[in-house]
Structure formats: C-alpha cells, structure tokens
Amino acid sequence: MLIVESLKKKFQLEETEVRAVDGVSFEVAAGEVYGLLGPNGAGKTTTLRMILGLVKPDAGYAEVSGYRTRTDPSAVKSRLGFVSASDGVYPWLSVREMLLYFADLYGVEPTEAASRCEQLSELMGIKPLLDRRAGSLSTGQRQRVILVRGLIHDPPVMLLDEPTRGLDVVGVQTIFEYIKNLRELGKAVVVCTHRLDEAERLCDRFGLLHQGTMHRTGTLQELRQQSGHDHLVEMFVELLGS
C-alpha cells in the first residue's frame, strides 16, 4: 500500500547543513499500523511531508498504491489522509462547513461528502458540534474534528503526526479508538510519535528513527530480539546513549 524507499533530505539552517532524513525506507500494508518513532528532531515529520509531496526529497521516493509522489503527486495526495497535532481550523466556519470544504479540496462529490460527514461525525462523536463555529471548540473537540477531516475522502493510507500531543486521557483514548477503527477498515496507517508507551499498545510494526536514520525496524517481538530490551523506551535510551 505505502512504500518509502531511501528517502533523503538535507536542510540548510543558518550556517549549518542538517541531514533531516538520511535514507529512510519502510513499507506499510493495508490494515497495518506502523509506528514511526523517534525523539523530537528525529526526522519523522519531514518523512511524512516528503510522502505527501510538501517537501521535495533530495533522493529516494514514496509510493502509494503504485503512484509515486514525484511523478504523480495528485494521485498520491488523493489517496493519503493527513492529520497533524499542529493542524488548525478555520475559526469563522462551522465544523460542517470546514469538513465539506476539505471534501471539496479532495474532489468528493457534495452529496457523498454530506453523507460521509454525517457518518464520520457519528463515529467520532462530534455530531452535536457540526453546526458550531470551529473557533469555539475545545482542544479535544478540535482534534476529533481534525481526525474526521483526515478521513473525509476515505483515503486508503492515513498519516498521523503526533496525534495525541496536547490531549488529556479521554482525548488520547479517542485517538486510540480511531486508529483501531482505521485498522479494522483496512487502511494502512503511519503513526509518528515520541510517546513510546502509546506506540507499543497501538502499532503492529515499528521503525526507530534517530537523527534522520532508521536504526531498527520490525514487530515488537523482532525489536526485542534485536535489542535485547523488552520495551521501546529502553531500546531508545540505548540508542540515544550510543
């Protein structure tokens, strides 16, 4: 479903050159949740942005359902759903107007968009919020609206960048339910997070990213065998210390 092959990206920050992503590769199948894990600045978000076509890679490629970002960006974008913790809302639009606007951006027919809007709102428990102004929502409500927004065009691949950042216990639980639901729907999901405990509970396979390089990849069992540690936190402590 999603193939990432040898992606590389360098940035020039003031006077120094930073290798944000250095040859990252992984694959995610339909119905699989892949945890792209790493501390802040590991290159997780840059990798997602390269998959989306928002950042041009220096080398490598990303492929979604047989389409490559570089050669067919529109086909890739229409097959990707993207949710980021730093995403905002249009404060003067109602939740419904905002969701339908994004449906339009993805070329979803208005009748289908309206029906999906109702369906997803029901699922995520935001139906009472649909006619409220988006600017008046709480952080948790806003995050749920953004999750619905990411699914409005029914993409086969979902990219979630730090989806639980800034949320309380109930909010985090909602995200978990959402991801489980995505898995059941047969979507390929990439979750970027530095919350390793959450990732352990959620993801089927993992990629441990540090300073732009993929250090370990596999299921939790495989990682345990490779590292000799039981938990992802311990594996990262070892990685950061090396």
Partner 1 sequence: MAGTRIEGRLWRLCQKELRETIRDRRTIFTLLLMPLLVYPIMSMALNRFLLTSGEIDDGYTICVATDMERDILDQWLSSPLSVPPEAILESSGNELAKFNAIIIPGISPAEAVLSNQADVGLQLSNLETGIPTATFYAYRGDNVSQAARRVVVERLQWLKLSQAEILLKQRTKDYRPPLTVQAEDVGEVEENSMLATIVPLVLVLMTITGAVYPAIDLTAGERERGTMEAVMASPVPRGYVLFSKYTAVVAVALLTAVANLIAMFTTLWAGGLLGLLTGGDAFPWITILQMLALLVLFSGFFAAILLSLTSFAKSFKEAQAYLIPVMLLSLTPAMLSLMPGITLTGALTVLPLINIVLLARDLLSGSADPSNAFVAIVSTTAYAAAALSVAAKLFGSDAVTRTSDKSIGSMLRRPRESSPVPTPQAAALMLALLVPAYFLVSNGLIRFIGNSDGIDIQWTLLLNALALIFTFGVLPITAAWLSRNNFKTTFQLRPAGIMSFIGATLLGLGAWAFAHEAFVIADALGIGGLSEQQIERAKASIEKMREASPILLIAAFALTPAVIEELCFRGYLFSATSGVVSPFRTVLITAFLFGLFHVLTGNALLVERFIPSTLMGLIIGWVAYQTQSVLPGIVIHFVHNGLLNTVLYYQEQLSFLGEGFDNQAHLPPLWLSIACVLVLTGAALVWLANRRRNGNNDSISGDTITK
Q: Could you list the residues that contact partner 1 (CB under 8 A)?
A: 13-15, 49, 52-55, 73-75, 77-78, 80, 82, 84, 86-93, 97, 100-102, 104-107, 110, 149
Q: Which is nearer to partner 1, 74 or 115 (CB)?
A: 74
Q: Whole-number minimum distance, CB 35 to partner 1, in Å?
A: 21
Which CA distances in Å does 132 have to 94, 123, 128, 150? 5, 18, 8, 19
- C-alpha 10/C-alpha 93 separation (Å) is 38
Angle at 79 between CA 44 and CA 181, to 5 degrees: 75
Residue 52 phi/psi, 5° resolution? -75, -15
State which residue, 82 or 236, has the beta carbon closest to partner 1: 82
Q: Cα separation of 76 and 66, whole Å?
A: 9
Q: Smaller CB distance to partner 1: residue 67 or 176? A: 67
Q: Between residues 75 and 123, which has the closer beta carbon with respect to partner 1?
A: 75
The contacts of residue 32 (CB under 8 Å, 6+ apart) are: 1, 183, 188, 189, 204, 205
CB of residue 56 to partner 1, shortest distance in Å: 11
* 222 φ/ψ angles, rounded to the nearest 5 degrees: -65, -40
**Least spacing, CB of residue 27 vs partner 1, in Å:** 21
Q: How far is the CB of 240 from partner 1 (least distance, A)?
A: 26
As a residue count, the chain comes to: 242
Query: Closest CB to partner 1 among 75 and 224?
Result: 75
Rounded least distance, CB 84 to partner 1, Å: 7
